Structure 1
Amino acid sequence: MAEAPQQSDESDLSTFENKTGLAEDMKFLASMPELCDVTFLVGDTREPVCAVKAVLAARSRVFHKMLYQAPSPQRKKEAPPKENKLRLFLKRSSEPLLNLQNAAQQRGFSQQLAPIQEPQSNQHHTLIIEEFEPDVFRQLIEYIHTGCVTLQPRTLLGVMNAADYYGLDELRRACAGFVQCCINVDTVCALLASAERYIQYKCTKSLVQKVLEFVDEHGNEVLNLGSFTLLPQHVVRLILARDELRADEFTKFQAALMWGKKYCDSNPNTPLKDVIGNFLEYIQFHKIPANVLMREVHPLGLVPYSIIMNALAYQADPTSVDPAKLSPNRVRRSGHGRSMSVQSSLDPYGSNTTLSSSGSSEMVSSEGGGIKHSSN
């Protein structure tokens, strides 16, 4: 009698996945301090961010080393003679107790001596994280626990550098991909401002390069943004000084004026003329039409009369004015190629951070929409 062909067991199997539910539960886990065993105090404000050590260690080798591997120089080995003496002392001291225990057992009582407690490896840890901002680190922890995070321009640079720092390559690549579609007129100033904090990280340089190329391409639009006034002064100077910036000179003057007024609102004791003076060398006034100079610029009393007159004289007869008097900064730069250094005045680490532009430059800040990245 022929045997019936065996049916495949695969028809009896079914795979059910609920990754969304798992991600939500893990996010809830990280949000409950009593369920976590490590707390990070993040940034200058030391904001607490809780997490589960085992999850961090499983997802990041950097966290594993940080949380479970004590630095080798701190491990002290006791001398063998001292260790032997200590053991002998404990052995002699415990002999009377062991004799009592044996006697009690003989009377019908079961009595057990409590073992000596050893240091627990699962104690709650508290660590300080100064490298990243609280919002950035919180997004990183959320991604590690859930495999999902919403990327947004405001924190993009920080998350990308944090992912690189903690060895999360998938998240770093997702951030790099998001950069390509998130650099626009609405987000460019936000991206420029956040680079200030992370300028020492390698991911920042590539991103800033792309941002400044966008600024060069859309100069007039960027300079007219209200968010342009939120940039640090040295970043504004860096942008205005770029030869590649496609913006007319009057727009550059208006951008400097807008930034100066905003600065004076916060620093009322500083004269507007002094603030504007920091930007004049980057504006070629002789390229601003004469009627605009006399109607829009000169009446403000912010630009020295000599600059106005030299600009007008050049427009009447270019050979009558020494080019060095028109734009001394550009003449000085032409002898050194297309590079320029601007000293950072807002270095969060107390060191001297230099932002440079050689054909392109570096900086960042963010706002606007976001994109969600998940790891499968």
Structure 2
Amino acid sequence: MAHSAAKAKLGSPATLLGDNSCLPAALRGLINDPQFSDVTFVVGKERQVVHAHRCILACRCKVFQGMFSKQLQAAKSSQELQVPFVLADMHPEVFLAVMEFLYTNSVTLNNVIALEVLTSAVEYGLDDLRKLCVEFISKTLTVELACEALQAAVTYGQSDLRKKCLSYIERHTVEVIKTQSFRELSDLGLQSVLQSNRLTIDEVPLIQAVREWAHVSSVVLDLPISVVAMDVVRELRLFLLSPDELTALERENRKDELIPESQIAQAWKFHALKKVSEIQPHLFHRRKGTIVREHHRYLETPSK
């Protein structure tokens, strides 16, 4: 009873906050500081040594917590705990950006490292860092980086970044298709571009860009052009082409067999019957940048 009365007299405890900037500022000074550090990493081809503190990394990241726990369980002596972790595939600047986030909950990014930091954020399960990377990349997209960012978004399932990249590519399609990063897209990445109705380009130069992409991919993957482009060319809208353009396409196609003959035959069938197929109606849809041809009046699917 006396204890309860004393507790009631003291009142409810309160948590009081000091200056929020003090702790991150103090922790920032610990980044890569060898004094008091108890774990080291050897990072990148440069084999740069980065010093860190197990307790901070473990409480901020479950991946590091698992790494340290396994090392502790396997260690037979205290000396074995001093063996550095080797991160040969990561650039030191990228790793230090991850460290900055873990110590301060903030990160300094630029266009050179942002995509790699995003990759590391996904791999280390750092969702807040992932969001910061997506925000930065979305706001700083350029013609040269748009497809590279899209590829990262597709590879790591980042739907929010994927939408931002596609929106940028839709507005700058003519410039983007000329970039090296466009030619280096995966088939899934390119398919996501070709599925858009809002590309600001006509189908003829778009098909030529896909042909150039296929030639590059064929060399890189050491596979026939028809194989590497098998799924991609299904998204080409041949029904938008005029008879003269289809004839020119067939002539070009004999050189590399980019597009299956059956797919071209379907386009000729449309010109003969003037009838839109209900199986793949989106392939009859004009894109935002499509130049209008005389036969396009037949493209609309009849209303039921």
Q: CA deviation at 1:221?
A: 3.3
TM-score by length of 2: 0.60
C-alpha distance 271-173 of structure 1, shift in aligned 2 (>3 A): closer
Aligned CA distance change for structure 1 residues 276 and 194 (closer, same or farther; 3 Å): closer
Instruction: After TM superposition, give the deviation of residue 120 of structure 1 in Å.
Output: 5.5
Query: In the alignment, what sits opposite 1:3?
Result: none
User: Superposition RMSD on alpha carbons, in Å?
Assistant: 4.8
Q: Which residue of 2 aligns with 1:314?
A: 270
Give the 3-state SS of the residue equivalent to 1:51 in structure 2: strand
| Counterpart in the other structure of 1:51 | 50
Check if 1:38 corresponds to 2:42.
no
Contact 1:60 1:168 in 2 (8 A): no
**Deviation (angstroms), 1:139:** 2.9
| Selected match of 1:61 from 59, 62, 87 | 59
**Contact conserved, 1:219 with 1:247, CA < 8 A, in 2?**
yes
SS at match of 1:280: helix
Pick the structure with greater CA Rg. Answer: 1
Q: Which residues of structure 1 form unaligned runs of 5+? A: 1-21, 75-118, 335-376
For residues 79 and 186 of structure 2, the distance between their equivalents in structure 1, rounded to whole angstroms, comes to: 46
Hey, what does 2:231 align to over in structure 1? 278
| CA-CA distance at 1:245 after TM superposition | 4.1
**Cα distance in structure 2, aligned partners of 1:175 and 1:297:** 44
Letter of the 1:182 counterpart = T
**How far apart, in 2, do the equivalents of 1:299 and 1:150 lie?**
49
2:117 is aligned with 1:159: yes
Matched, 1:221 2:183: no
Post-superposition CA distance 1:150-178 (Å, at most 9, x none): 52345424424655857695x66653442
Q: Indicate yes or no: 2:289 matched with 1:291.
A: no
Query: Which segments of 5 or more consecutive residues in structure 2 lack a partner in the other structure?
Result: 1-26, 285-304
Deviation at 1:121, TM superposition (A): 10
Task: Supply the AA of the counterpart residue of 1:213.
Answer: S
Separation in 1, partners of 2:69, 2:266: 68
User: SS at the partner of 1:184?
Assistant: coil
Is residue 142–residue 149 contact of structure 1 (8 Å, CA) maintained in 2?
yes
Q: Distance in 2 between matches of 1:226 and 1:305?
A: 29
Q: Does 1:194 align with 2:152?
A: yes
Q: Secondary structure at the match of 1:151?
A: coil
- TM-aligned CA deviation for residue 60 of structure 1: 7.3
| Secondary structure, counterpart of 1:210 in structure 2 | helix
- For the residues of structure 2 that align with 1:310 and 1:144, how far apart are their CA atoms? 56
SS in 2 for 1:39: strand
CA displacement 1:208-265 (0-9 Å, x = unmatched): 2322232333334333323211111222123223345444322331222111110222
Cα distance in 2, alignment partners of residues 52 and 161 from structure 1: 22
3-state SS of paired residue (2:248): helix
Q: Percent sequence identity over matched residues?
A: 21
Check conservation: 1:216, 1:246, Cα contact below 8 A: yes
Could you tell me whether the CA contact under 8 Å between 1:229 and 1:262 is conserved in 2?
yes
Rounded Cα–Cα distance in structure 1 between residues aligned with 2:218 and 2:134: 37
**How many residues are matched?**
253
Cα 1:295–1:172, aligned 2, differ >3 Å: closer, same or farther?
A: closer
The structure whose residues are more often strand, as a share, is: 1
Which residue number corresponds to residue 260 of structure 1? 214
SS of the equivalent of 1:323 reads: coil
Q: Distance in 1 between matches of 2:226 and 2:126?
A: 49
RCO (CA 8 Å, sep 6+): is it higher in 1 or 2? 1
